[in-house]
Amino acid sequence: MTLESPPIVTTSGLCRLQLRAEPAQFGAVRRIVSAYLRLWGRTGLIDSAVVCVTEILANVHRHVNPSECELVLENMPEGVRAAVRDQSSVLPVVVEGENWLGESGRGMFIVANTADLWGTSPVEGGGKQVWVLLREGA
């Protein structure tokens, strides 16, 4: 796996990864996300977190060129927040009930139905951040 830089971890429960959203790296990213959630004692959120992060990264891979992005994981009192920042200002779209047999188009529907909260935020200087909040027992 080739990350743009090694993970930056702080004692406050924050992890930052600079990476290219390439499918060949998704397995390694899932392992990193899983490891941090285990470290933070949030094992009940691992499955949801890896699904959401993978789907958001897949959107970056398909729709953003170049596909460099930043993944930020935050261990917060109310849950775990995962956010992916990229250089495109085009917002993701949730497609409901259309073309379920197609090869694409379901990613944000999966995110919206897996995360407790999700949204997008514009980034100063251009681009956006797509984020999810996952809560245990929600």
What are the DSSP calls for 74-120, one per residue? EEETTEEEEEEEES--PPP----SS-TTSSSS-HHHHHHHHSSEEEE
* Token output for 5: 């830089």
This prediction has a pTM of: 0.87
* Token output for 51: 């699904």
pLDDT of residue 137: 79
* pLDDT tens series, the chain, 138 aa: 345 555 555 556 999 999 999 999 999 999 999 999 999 999 999 999 999 999 999 999 999 998 999 999 999 999 999 999 999 999 998 877 656 555 566 889 999 999 999 999 999 989 999 999 999 976
What residue ranges define each of the domains in the chain, with the CATH number in brackets?
Answer: 8-134 (3.30.565.10)
> Minimal CA–CA distance to 107: which of 93, 122, 97, 91?
93
